[in-house]
Structure 1
Amino acid sequence: MIKAEILNIGDEILYGQITNTNAQWISAELDKIGIRVVRHSVVSDTEEAILEGLQEAEKRADVVLITGGLGPTKDDITKKTLCKFFDVKLIRHPEALRAVTHFFESRGREMLEVNRQQADLPENAEYIPNLKGTAPGMWFEKNGKIFVSMPGVPHEMQFIMQSYVLENLQKFFHTPCIVHKMIKTVGIGESYLAREIETWENNLPENLKLAYLPAFGMVRLRITGLGYDQEAVRRQIEQEVDKVLPLIDKYVYGFDDDDLAIAVGRLLVQNKKTLAIAESCTGGYLAHCFTQHAGSSEYLKGALVAYSNEIKINVLGVKKETIEQFGAVSEQTVLEMASNIRKLCNADIGIATSGIAGPGGATPTKPVGTIWVAYADENGTSAKLYQLGNDRMVNIQVTANLLIDWLRRKQGGRVK
């Protein structure tokens, strides 16, 4: 496996003034060509920090991709520092000078000496054209390792990567392909899922690796295959998916880029069912899970955030006596919410949430994380109680995912 390190230069990243999107984008692109990123590093705009970052990265990686510090101002010192790292001088590169001159002339702008200095490159650098800006990219080879320096401006960096760097890295290293397959599950915890598939996992071929990626009541199983024949690796992964699905099929809602709400929406359309939603503790998030996707109007009739008792009673039609006797966070209340929203919207199915998301609102008998959800259709109404944690947003997201999963199971699991 060829290993890479991404070295981002810039105090603005360390100060938190901008988000380091470059590292994420580069990692994803390297993954596609079989190069594994082993570290992201961010260093300040000082010679000492950049040199230290380069020296450390050289020990760990076969490829070091550097972004930032290539502008025309005095605070951009990457080129001079690279000269020190490689023990070379800056020279004015004729092709780079022609490119930067054309850049300014074609825009009718005056070119200053500081702009001409953009064409000054370390003498051992291979020039990489940058048609999106004035700072060229630079390719270096040292002891069988590759260093590439690029501008920190995302669209300039991406152009250089796509037009030159990725292709040449593949040629230089003759990289294997990496193939990923994601199996998406919901309604089962990571450790329980691992127990269900332990034997299958232990017998995976040596070139296939499994990773568990849990989040908000869901677990993604990522199978990663490595090899030089992409189609052969892909077929190998699909064979393993066929083996594991019978063990966990009831928890699987989709694959790769599938979204839980989209998957359930397809089931509802397939089954010719419509949906209505009544929310309290989830505050509209549950409806958002569906409506953020185009096409949700095919099955979603309407939604109501009945956050106060007044709205629960006067709009949603929950009996006043129910709330007085059992409380807003109760099985009885959430059952009425689901049943009433179904009738109010003339939908086939009604679902509802009511709970204590936190951090306040708890009572001795109903701690933070006490969540009731309900499901109603022509066959009746039922409710479930969940005892979640103390984090408000986690409680909201987990509640939504658990209820959508209940809806999924009621509709047959997933579209086959």
Structure 2
Amino acid sequence: MKATIVTIGDEILIGQIIDTNSSYIAKALDKIGIATYEMLSVSDEKEHILETLEKLQNKVELVIITGGLGPTKDDITKKTFCDYFEDKLIEDQEVLKHVKYLIEGFYKRPISQINKEQALVPSKATVLFNKMGTAPGMWMQKENTVFISLPGVPYEMKYLIDEVIVPKLINEFNRSSIVHKTVMTYGRGESLIAEQIEDWENNLPNYIKLAYLPSPGKVRLRLTARGNNEEGLKNEIENRIKELYKIIGEIIVGTEDDQPIENVIAELITSKKKTLSIAESCTGGKIAQSLTAISGASSYFKGSIISYATETKINILGVPRELIETYSVVSKQVVESMALQSQKIFASDYAIATTGNAGPNKGDSEAEIGTVFIALATPEGVYSEEFNFGQPREKVIGRAVNKAFELLYKEILKK
């Protein structure tokens, strides 16, 4: 079963807002075995919407549309649906009752005519009751395609997808199974990994597809299997991943189905009753941000100093001025001092430090742009590594963050 997701709104086409609805809907459909065939964004123009509906009819079994259901004149989805399905708008009493409750009972103001018009729906539509807002969803079918229209407000859309639409789709359609498993690797590039696992990849059965998902410092390998036996698909993927561990196991840190590397680190360091602190320069707090986004980080994470400027490294972190003057702010000696000072200030077992030239200018150092030093202070001592992560700036910072996690993960595993 295939689906197309359509977002309606000029605000998306001009980049005023980011479309997060489509990715949420696609994930929800994927979990119940419905493959998203394409995602489209169209303008708030009646003819454009009608052309899109006509093009998609019988091309896919399911079309989910978000946006254009508000009370203002630029929200034209309901009227356009009526034109496409040769229908008319009628007042739905249950929806009207709910709208009156929200406006008069919750917002404490008189209901207006424009509010009442939210209860107008196509007479042929199955109304999808939206208890989170005033705009109901609509379910309509033409020949072999079901068209579903949802409000564009994300929390309203999510409620309808999770509580109304997914259960209805499960009940009304026979679907095949789609199984995903993503292997997380750190510290090796996409092309090198592809060379190492070429034979393994070539021997995958035709119902299992491999996708490479590279980002700075890490590569995700996603296996996708489609078929009618979900349990059999899961077992086959697990067996293929076991084979993969034998080839590149040294760079695999787990599967995304489990958790990303920062979650793995959090569990490891907590289980060993150890603590961590950070001194960041070129990464600007992104390492600390990733760790503190995880619930329970306070049990092991002692704190961080973003010593971005040279004077901050000296006056706040306590790096000796003469060390910087002798070796430069981007150096092995300085980054190791940063890690040791962080470890001392926060009384932590481990400490990570970063310093480098992310670009586009060299700043306080003559080191080449892209150069990054990462240090790790441990209960036994301190060590550092030098890297050149190239350009642009965003890539340098992203790779530095991921490399820092990789070094810490491997260090904790030794104990």
CA–CA separation in structure 1 for the residues paired with 2:366 and 2:164: 64
Task: Quickly say closer, same or farther: Cα 1:389–1:56, change in 2 above 3 A.
Answer: farther
| Cα shift at 1:300 | 3.4
Task: Quickly say closer, same or farther: Cα 1:112–1:189, change in 2 above 3 A.
Answer: same
Contact kept, 8 Å, 2:184 with 2:220, in 1: the verdict is yes
Task: Give the letter for the 2:82 counterpart.
Answer: C
- Does residue 390 (structure 1) correspond to residue 388 (structure 2)? The answer is no
Matches within 5 A, 1:229-268: 229-255=229-255, 256-268=257-269
CA–CA separation in structure 1 for the residues paired with 2:197 and 2:3: 32
Contact kept, 8 Å, 1:276 with 1:345, in 2: the verdict is yes
CA–CA separation in structure 2 for the residues paired with 1:358 and 1:266: 34
Task: Quickly say closer, same or farther: Cα 1:21–1:364, change in 2 above 3 A.
Answer: closer
Partner of 1:75: 74
- Does residue 39 (structure 1) correspond to residue 38 (structure 2)? The answer is yes
Matches within 5 A, 1:9-408: 9-58=8-57, 60-86=59-85, 88-92=86-90, 96-101=92-97, 103-104=99-100, 107=104, 117-118=117-118, 120-255=120-255, 256-361=257-362, 366-408=367-409
CA–CA separation in structure 1 for the residues paired with 2:217 and 2:10: 37
Task: Quickly say closer, same or farther: Cα 1:10–1:413, change in 2 above 3 A.
Answer: farther
Gaps of 5+ in 2: none
| Cα shift at 1:405 | 0.7
CA–CA separation in structure 2 for the residues paired with 1:304 and 1:158: 38
CA–CA separation in structure 2 for the residues paired with 1:330 and 1:317: 16
| Cα shift at 1:393 | 3.3
Identity %: 41
CA–CA separation in structure 2 for the residues paired with 1:366 and 1:262: 33
Listed one character per residue, the Cα deviations across residues 288-347 of structure 1 (whole Å, up to 9, x for unaligned) are 333332333443344333333334344544343332222111122223333343344443
CA–CA separation in structure 1 for the residues paired with 2:130 and 2:375: 57
CA–CA separation in structure 2 for the residues paired with 1:268 and 1:402: 17
Listed one character per residue, the Cα deviations across residues 206-240 of structure 1 (whole Å, up to 9, x for unaligned) are 22222221222111222222233333322222222
Contact kept, 8 Å, 1:253 with 1:413, in 2: the verdict is no
Task: Quickly say closer, same or farther: Cα 1:55–1:325, change in 2 above 3 A.
Answer: same
TM-score (norm. length: structure 2): 0.87
Contact kept, 8 Å, 1:362 with 1:368, in 2: the verdict is no
Task: Give the letter for the 2:400 counterpart.
Answer: T
Task: Quickly say closer, same or farther: Cα 1:125–1:267, change in 2 above 3 A.
Answer: closer
Listed one character per residue, the Cα deviations across residues 71-105 of structure 1 (whole Å, up to 9, x for unaligned) are 3443332233223323x131526xx2354246426
SS in 1 for 2:56: helix
SS in 2 for 1:278: strand
| Cα shift at 1:60 | 4.2
Larger CA deviation: 128-137 vs 138-147: 128-137
Task: Quickly say closer, same or farther: Cα 1:83–1:398, change in 2 above 3 A.
Answer: same
Contact kept, 8 Å, 1:197 with 1:247, in 2: the verdict is yes
| Cα shift at 1:4 | 1.1
CA–CA separation in structure 2 for the residues paired with 1:309 and 1:158: 47
Contact kept, 8 Å, 1:97 with 1:116, in 2: the verdict is no
CA–CA separation in structure 2 for the residues paired with 1:359 and 1:313: 24
Task: Give the letter for the 1:188 counterpart.
Answer: R
TM-score (norm. length: structure 1): 0.87
What's the C-alpha RMSD, in Å, of the aligned pairs? Answer: 2.9
| Cα shift at 1:121 | 4.0
Task: Give the letter for the 1:77 counterpart.
Answer: I
Contact kept, 8 Å, 1:250 with 1:413, in 2: the verdict is no
Task: Give the letter for the 2:56 counterpart.
Answer: A
CA–CA separation in structure 1 for the residues paired with 2:268 and 2:101: 58
Task: Quickly say closer, same or farther: Cα 1:313–1:67, change in 2 above 3 A.
Answer: closer
| Cα shift at 1:371 | 0.9
Task: Give the letter for the 2:410 counterpart.
Answer: R
Contact kept, 8 Å, 1:101 with 1:116, in 2: the verdict is no
Task: Give the letter for the 1:354 counterpart.
Answer: T
Contact kept, 8 Å, 2:184 with 2:218, in 1: the verdict is yes
Gaps of 5+ in 1: none
